[in-house]
Amino acid sequence: MDFEGKTAVVTGSARGIGRGIALELAARGSNVVIADMDEESAREVVAEIKAGGTRSYYCETDVTQQWLTDDMVEAALEEYGQLDVLVNNAGVGGSSGFTTRKTPLVEDWQATFDVNVYGIVKGTQSVEKYMVDRGYGKIVNISSISGRPGFASYAASKAAAIRVAGVGVQACSARHKRQHGVPRPNLDAAVAGYCEVEKIYRRAKRWINAPTDFPANSYRFGAAGTRTDPR
């Protein structure tokens, strides 16, 4: 797979899975915009990508603000002249302190839906017109296997993310067909497995407090035998 000359924007790419995605796309030739709120980590990823020979920059982005995701897309187009791939990866497990709680607070529901669902919607809306007009584009949403049965607030938000993708492709499809009568952008929900990232360690801490949730998930670990690498 060769992404030479392509441009990708990856939200939440300063750390964890997003970082893995950004580095892999860059390794295959793509220019990558690191859209995140953690400037220090983001700059390290940018440096790593540049050292590998493709272009990259840090874009301070809060995906809960539509004007910021609009800026993210406009800046990428200005910088590279085209935008081929948007990876809606930014996500949270709850509002601050969620790791210490057994059951989610309303604030946790709010935060997970603001970022994990509406963040995807906003990122997608920012890029939709450009991609539809161009008649080309790839959007990948990072969901989670807990979007299938799992933790209430986080799981519900990730399940919603899968549906957003399904409905999104139909909407884009219909609109593009009306306007152009030809094929339209792809939109796919990518389901992320458990990864060896900080979030998992935080979740593991929570499992200890809620042992009844453990068996089903540990079975999945056992079946696969290995953990998923962010790449």
- Which residues are tagged catalytic? 154
Query: Which residue lies nearer to other proteins by CB, 129 or 177?
Result: 177
Q: Are 197 and 17 in contact (CB under 8 A)?
A: yes
The position carrying tokens 């957003």 is 164
Q: Are 9 and 76 in contact (CB under 8 A)?
A: yes
Query: Which residue lies nearer to other proteins by CB, 66 or 228?
Result: 228
For residue 72, the minimal CB distance to other proteins (Å) is: 26
Phi first, then psi, for residue 11 (nearest 5°) are -80, 145
For residue 23, the minimal CB distance to other proteins (Å) is: 14
For residue 58, the minimal CB distance to other proteins (Å) is: 27
Phi first, then psi, for residue 119 (nearest 5°) are -60, -40
Report the C-alpha gap between 33 and 118 in whole angstroms. Answer: 20
Amino acid (1-letter code) at residue 149: P
For residue 228, the minimal CB distance to other proteins (Å) is: 5
Q: Sign of torsion, CA 207 213 214 216? A: negative
Distance of CA 83 to the CA centre of its chain: 16
Query: Which residue lies nearer to other proteins by CB, 152 or 224?
Result: 224
Query: Which residue lies nearer to other proteins by CB, 25 or 72?
Result: 25
For residue 166, the minimal CB distance to other proteins (Å) is: 4
Q: Where are the beta strands (DSSP E) in the chain?
A: 7-11, 31-36, 56-60, 85-88, 138-142, 186-190
Q: Which SS3 state, helix, strand or coil, does residue 190 take?
A: strand
Interface ranges with other proteins (CB under 8 A): 1, 166, 169-170, 173, 177, 182-184, 186, 193, 223-229
Query: Which residue lies nearer to other proteins by CB, 179 or 209?
Result: 179
Pick from 173, 160, 203: nearest CA to 16: 203
